[in-house]
Structure 1
Amino acid sequence: MRTNKEAGEIFGPRMTLFADVLGVGVAVAVVSLPLVTLPAALSTACAVLRGVREDRPATAGRFFTALRRRLRPGDLTAGLVALAGMTLVLADLALARAGLPGGPAFALLAAAIGTGAAVVALRACARPESVTDWPVAVRGAARDAVRDPGGSALVVLAVAAAATSAWMLLPLAFLVPGLLALALTAVDVRGKEVAPQEGM
C-alpha cells in the first residue's frame, strides 16, 4: 500500500482510504436493506478493502462491480441462514424474558451461543474463500475463532463500537458497515500474520 503523499494530493493516502471506506459503507448499507443480501455485501466489502494492500482502489464503484459478479444462490442461502439464526436467537431471548423457569440461565446461554455464531459468521465474511465457497469460509472462520481468541475479541469489540456509533447518531448507521468491514478485514489479515509467528 502506498503511504506517501504525491504532488498535487490534498490529503494523504490514509485519508483517501478512510473516505473510500465510508463510501463502501454506504454502498453496503444500501445493498443490505433486504437483509438477505447482508453476508454477500459484507464479504464483498472485505474483498474490496483487502485489495488496498495490492494498491487496488477501494471504491463504491469497485464494490458494486464485484457484487454484480457474485450474487449467486449460495450467497442468498447464506443470507437466509444468517437471518434465521438472528431470528432464532431473538426469539429465544424473548422467551427467556417471559418469566419461564430457568429463564435467566437460558438467556445467558442463548446470548453466548448467539455471540459465538455471530463471531464465526463475521470472520467468515472477511475470509477470501467467502467470495466463492461459503462452507469453506465458515469452517475456516470456526477454526480461526478457536485458534485466535484475541481476534474474536476484536470482532466483538468492533461490532460493539459499530452498534454504539449507530445508536448515538442514527445517520452514522449508513457509514458503520464500511468501518466494520475494515475491522473484519484487519482481523483476518492479522490472524494470517500471527499464525506463522506462533508456529516458529
Structure 2
Amino acid sequence: MSRVDRAARRAALSGSGPTRGETAHEARFPGARGAFSLLGEVLYVGILVAVVSIPVVTLPAALAAGVRHLRRYLKADDSGLSWFWRDVRAGLVGGIGVGAASLVLALVLALDIDLAGSGVLPGGPVVAAVGWAGLAVLALVLFTAAGRWTPGGGWLGALREVPGAVRADPAGAAYLVATAVFAGVVTWQLLPLVIPALGCVALAIVAVPERPRRHDVDA
C-alpha cells in the first residue's frame, strides 16, 4: 500500500477524510460530484470571462477571476458572483498591462505566420513554425499565470512562478497548450463557441495541476 493510500485510510478511519465509497479527490473537491451542475458552472464561467474579456486586454484578469471562481466552486466554498467581480477589479491592476503586451505579441506572431504563408518571407515554413510555437508559449504563460494569480501576489508574482511551474510539470504544460489549441479551433469554427471554450480553459487551469500524477501513485 502506498503512502498516499495509507494516509487516506488513516483519514477515513479518523473521520477527517472521505466517507466510505468516496475518494480523497472527491472529498477535496465536493463541487465536482455533480457532473451536470459542474458543466453548468463551467458554461456560466465561460459567459462571465467572455463578457469581461470584450476589450481583449482584460482577458488575463477575466481568466484569473474565472479560475478562482471555479476553484471556490469545486471546493464548495462561497462562490457568489460578488467574489468574481472583486477578483476582476483586483486583477485589472497589472492585468491590463499583461493583456496589452500579450495582444501585441500575438498580433506580431500572427502577422509573421500570415507573411510566411504568403511566400513573401524567405524560409517561410521555419518562420511559420516559430510563430506557432511562440503563440503556444504565449498561451501557456498566460494560462499558468492566470492559475497562479492572487490578489495579494499580483501579476508580477504570478509571472515569476511560471517557469518553475512548467519545469515541475511539463506534462501539465502540454495539457494546457492542448487546451489552448482546442479553444482556438472551436472558436475559429464557430465564434459563439468561444463561451464554452473559455469555460473549459478555466476548468483546465484548475484541474491540470490537481490531477493524480505518477509520483503520487508511486510514493
TM-score (norm 2): 0.74
Aligned-partner residue type, residue 63 of structure 1: F
Q: Does 1:159 align with 2:180?
A: yes
The one of 83, 92, 101 equivalent to 2:103 is 83
Letter in 1 for 2:30: R
Aligned equivalents of 1:196, 1:140: Cα separation in 2:
21
Shift in Å at residue 160 of structure 1?
2.4
Partner letter of residue 177 of structure 2? Answer: V
Q: Structure 2 vs 1, CA of residues 195 and 82 (structure 1 numbering), >3 Å: closer, same or farther?
A: farther
Match of 2:40 in 1: 19
Q: Which residue of 2 aligns with 1:109?
A: 130
CA deviation digits over 1:48-68, x for unaligned, max 9? 111134312545554224323
Shift of 1:146: 3.0
Aligned match of 1:39 in 29, 39, 60? 60
**Alpha-carbon deviation of 1:14?**
3.2
Q: Show structure 1 runs of 5+ residues with no match.
A: 5-11
Query: In the alignment, does 2:118 pair up with 1:98?
Result: yes
Point out the structure with max Rg over C-alpha: 2
Aligned-partner Cα distance in 1 for 2:151–2:125: 36
Q: State how far apart, in whole Å, the 2-side matches of 1:166 and 1:95 are.
A: 22
Unaligned runs of 5+ in 2: 1-28
Q: Distance in 1 between matches of 2:31 and 2:59?
A: 31
Q: Secondary structure at the match of 1:176?
A: helix
Tell me if structure 2 keeps the 8 A contact 1:43–1:125. Answer: yes
Following superposition, the deviation at residue 114 of structure 1 comes to: 2.5
Residue number among 184, 188, 196 corresponding to 2:205 in the alignment: 184
Deviates more, 1:99-108 or 1:35-44: 99-108
Query: Do the aligned residues in 2 keep the contact of 1:155 with 1:183 (CA within 8 Å)?
Result: yes
Distance verdict in 2 for CA 1:26–1:152, change over 3 Å: same
Q: Please point out which of 58, 63, 71 is paired with 2:92.
A: 71
Alignment CA distance shift 1:131-1:32 (3 Å): farther
Distance in 2, Cα, partners of 1:187 & 1:61: 26
Distance 1:157 1:20, change over 3 A: same
Identity %: 33
Cα deviation, residue 41, structure 1 = 0.4
Residue 143 (structure 1) aligns with: 164
1:26-81 deviation digits (Å, cap 9, x = unpaired):
01101101100001100111111111343125455542243234422x11111111
Task: State the Cα RMSD in Å.
Answer: 2.8
Are positions 1:2 and 2:12 aligned together? no
Distance 1:131 1:80 in 2: 22
| Distance in 1 of aligned mates of 2:188 and 2:138 | 23
